[in-house]
Amino acid sequence: MSSKSFAAEPFALPFDPQRTALVMIDMQRDFVEPGGFGEALGNDVSLVRGAIEPCKRVLAAARAAGLLVVHTREGHRPDLTDCPPAKLTRGGETFIGTQGPMGRILVRGEQGHDIIPELYPVAGEPIVDKPGKGAFYQTDLHLILQNRDIRTLIVCGVTTEVCVTTTVREANDRGFECIVPQDCVGSYFPAFQKAALEMVKAQGAIFGWVSDSAAIVEALRA
């Protein structure tokens, strides 16, 4: 086991770079650019765009250190057969599958469903398409991580209180240690961001650790 560690709360997290992966959650145009699903729900997407630059720094450091990098995208089949009715008609209104400025909202293959250019995957980086909030639900993410003997996950992306922390909780139940750089995740609701991060690190890292991009980059470069 490597002697490397991430500076974090509630305490430092030791990690082995060969058994560590970066998981970039749902940094899609539908969530972080105007005209997508996030805005259709009435949100101000500028509140999540602050995570892009810190994510770029962590992504570059992870690639330079040779870490496995996995990207996820939330979205559905074009016929919407994998979208539960309760999700399809939130508050009695339908957004998913309707036409937006970047194609049909949250539909696989559409422009809005794809990952933003600033964080676009390079060759060899798996993309996991997921129909739900958590990245493990109905996907092969666990198999991908298991095949690489991964133990520690650096989890970035949007939104903090929904897809990010759902994935962290799923990972925790599967035996992974998760660290969340707080400036690499974003929410449309600042109060939710704060509460979600507090929940992750509470009670001695009950779900995981909270850090920041500078600490992650420093540890990966050490």
137, 106 contact by CB (below 8 A): no
Return the SS3 of 221.
helix
pLDDT at 3: 77
Q: In this model, does residue 192 exceed pLDDT 90?
A: yes
- Give the tokens for residue 116: 């933003």
CATH class label, 5-221:
alpha beta
- Give the tokens for residue 108: 């696989």
% of the chain residues with pLDDT over 70: 99
Report, as an integer, the average pLDDT of 85-114. Answer: 91
pLDDT band per the 50, 70, 90 thresholds, residue 2: low
pLDDT at 40: 85
- Give the tokens for residue 153: 């996950």
162 DSSP 8-state letter: I
Q: In this model, does residue 102 exceed pLDDT 70?
A: yes
Kindly state the helix (H) or strand (E) to which residue 200 belongs, with its residue range.
Answer: helix 190-205
pLDDT band per the 50, 70, 90 thresholds, residue 95: confident
- Give the tokens for residue 206: 């009950």
The residues that are catalytic are 26, 130, 163
